[in-house]
C-alpha cells in the first residue's frame, strides 16, 4: 500500500502512514481553521488500510497543540482506527502537560480503540 | 504589566508560538494554557466574527496571571443565543464543563462541522474562570461581542 507522507507546517501536523515500514505517526501542531486538507487524506488512507492491515497497528499521536476545529478531525481519525483489527493509539504528551493527557483520555472515552499514554 | 496585542491580519506562524512562549511565565502548563486560549479566541474571531473591522485581541500579563480582551463583530441575531450559551457555561462546575465538552464532541461525529460553542467550553476549561461577555449594538444588524477571560496563575 502506498505510503502517505504529509510534511508539517507551523499550524498543521506531520503525518507518516507507512504500512510497509510499520510507521503510523501524527505529530506537531494542529491549529488550522480548516484542518480537512490534512485529515481527509489520512481518513481515506486508513479506510483503505483497514481492508488489509498488519497483525498489529500502533498509531503514535504526539501533538503539541490542537484547536477545537481539529478536535472533530482527530475524533474522526481515531474513530476510523476502530475498524482496523488490533489497532492501538500511543498518545504522547509532555511530562507535566496534564491538559494534553486529559484530552487523550477524552478521545479514549469516545472511541472504541485502546490507548496507551506515554510521556516524552 | 505587559500587553501583547495580536496582529489579526497575520497568519499564525512559528513566531506567534515563540512570542507566546516568551510571554508566559516559564511553566509549561501556563505557557500551554496561554497559547491554547489565544488560539481558541483567534479561531473564534476568524471563523465566527463578522470580518476583522471591529476585531481585536490583546493579552495582558499582570501579577496575578493573564487577561484576554477579545472583541469581534457578530450578527445581532446571534446575541441572544450566544449570551444564553455563555450564561449556561458560567453556571457549570469544572466536572460538568468537562462532561458537556465531551458530549458536544461526541455529537460532532454525526454532523459535518464542529459545534461553534465548543471553543467557549474549552476556554472555560483551560482558564478555570467565568467568561465575561458583553455586547454593544453597531446599527440594527451588527453588534460587537467583547469577551474577557482571566487565567489565574497563582499556585
What is the spatial distance between Cα B143 and Cα B129, in angstroms, rounded to a whole number? 24
What is the spatial distance between Cα A104 and Cα A93, in angstroms, rounded to a whole number? 9
Q: Does B47 touch chain A (CB under 8 A)?
A: yes
Give the total number of structural domains in chain A: 1
Quick one: pLDDT at residue B139?
87
Quick one: pLDDT at residue B86?
97
Quick one: pLDDT at residue B130?
97
Of the candidate CATH numbers 2.60.120, 1.10.150, 3.30.565, 2.60.40, the domain formed by B2-152 belongs to 3.30.565
**Chain A residues in contact with chain B using a Cβ-Cβ cutoff of 8 Å:** 10-11, 29, 31, 33, 65, 67-69, 71-72, 75-76, 79, 94, 96-100, 102, 106, 109-110
List chain B residues with CB under 8 Å of A68: 40, 43, 114, 118-119, 122
Q: Do B39 and A94 touch (CB under 8 A)?
A: no
Whole-number Cα distances in Å, A74 to A48, A82, A94, B98 = 18, 13, 19, 18
Q: Does B109 touch chain A (CB under 8 A)?
A: yes
Boundaries of domain holding A64: 4-119
For the cut 70, the answer to whether the pLDDT of residue B16 exceeds it is yes
Quick one: pLDDT at residue A53?
97
pLDDT band at B117 (very low <50, low <70, confident <90, very high): confident
List chain B residues with CB under 8 Å of A71: 105, 108, 114, 118
pLDDT band at B52 (very low <50, low <70, confident <90, very high): confident
For chain B, the structural domain boundaries read 2-152
How many CB pairs (< 8 A) connect A and B?
71
Q: Considering Cα of A35, then A104, then A111, then A54, what sign does the dihedral take?
A: positive
Quick one: pLDDT at residue A23?
98
Q: What is the ipTM of this complex?
A: 0.93
pTM more than 0.90: yes
Quick one: pLDDT at residue B155?
55
pLDDT band at B53 (very low <50, low <70, confident <90, very high): confident
pLDDT tens-digit profile of A21-56? 999 999 999 999 889 999 999 999 999 999 999 999
Q: Do A65 and B36 touch (CB under 8 A)?
A: yes
C-alpha cell at A59: 498509531
Contact A49, A1 (CB under 8 A): yes
Nearest to B118 among A68, A96, A97 (CB): A68
Per-residue pLDDT averaged across A65-90, rounded?
96
pLDDT tens-digit profile of B83-115? 999 999 999 999 999 999 999 999 887 676 666
C-alpha cell at A114: 485502546
| Preferred mutation among A68, A82, A97, A110 to probe B, highest tally of B CBs within 10 A | A68
**Portion of chain A with pLDDT greater than 90, in percent:** 97
Q: How many CB atoms lie within 10 A of CB A50?
A: 16
Amino acid at each position: 500500500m502506498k505510503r502517505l507522507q504529509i510534511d508539517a507546517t507551523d499550524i498543521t501536523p506531520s503525518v507518516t502512514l507507512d504500512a510497509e515500514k510499520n510507521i503510523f505517526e501524527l505529530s506537531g501542531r494542529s491549529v488550522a481553521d480548516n484542518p480537512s486538507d490534512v485529515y481527509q487524506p489520512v481518513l481515506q488512507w486508513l479506510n483503505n488500510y483497514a481492508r488489509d492491515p498488519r497483525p498489529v497497528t500502533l498509531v503514535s499521536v504526539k501533538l503539541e497543540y490542537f484547536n477545537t476545529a481539529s478536535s472533530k478531525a482527530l475524533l474522526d481519525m481515531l474513530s476510523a482506527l476502530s475498524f482496523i483489527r488490533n489497532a492501538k493509539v500511543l498518545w504522547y504528551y509532555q511530562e507535566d502537560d496534564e491538559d494534553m493527557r486529559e484530552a487523550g483520555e477524552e478521545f479514549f472515552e469516545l472511541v472504541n480503540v485502546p490507548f496507551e499514554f506515554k510521556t516524552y | 504589566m505587559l500587553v501583547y496585542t495580536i496582529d489579526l491580519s497575520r497568519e499564525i506562524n512559528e513566531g506567534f508560538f515563540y512570542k507566546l512562549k516568551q510571554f508566559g511565565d516559564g511553566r509549561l502548563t501556563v505557557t500551554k494554557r496561554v497559547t491554547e486560549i489565544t488560539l481558541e479566541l483567534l479561531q473564534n474571531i476568524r471563523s465566527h466574527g463578522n470580518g476583522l473591522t471591529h476585531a481585536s485581541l490583546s493579552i495582558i500579563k499582570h501579577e496575578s496571571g493573564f487577561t484576554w480582551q477579545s472583541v469581534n463583530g457578530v450578527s445581532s441575531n446571534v446575541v441572544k443565543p450566544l449570551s444564553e450559551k455563555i450564561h449556561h457555561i458560567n453556571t457549570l462546575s469544572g466536572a460538568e464543563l468537562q462532561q458537556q465538552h465531551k458530549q458536544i464532541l461526541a455529537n460532532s461525529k454525526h454532523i459535518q462541522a464542529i459545534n461553534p460553542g465548543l471553543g467557549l467550553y474549552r476556554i472555560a476549561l483551560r482558564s478555570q474562570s467565568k467568561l465575561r461577555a458583553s455586547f454593544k449594538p453597531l446599527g440594527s444588524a451588527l453588534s460587537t461581542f467583547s469577551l474577557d477571560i482571566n487565567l489565574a496563575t497563582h499556585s
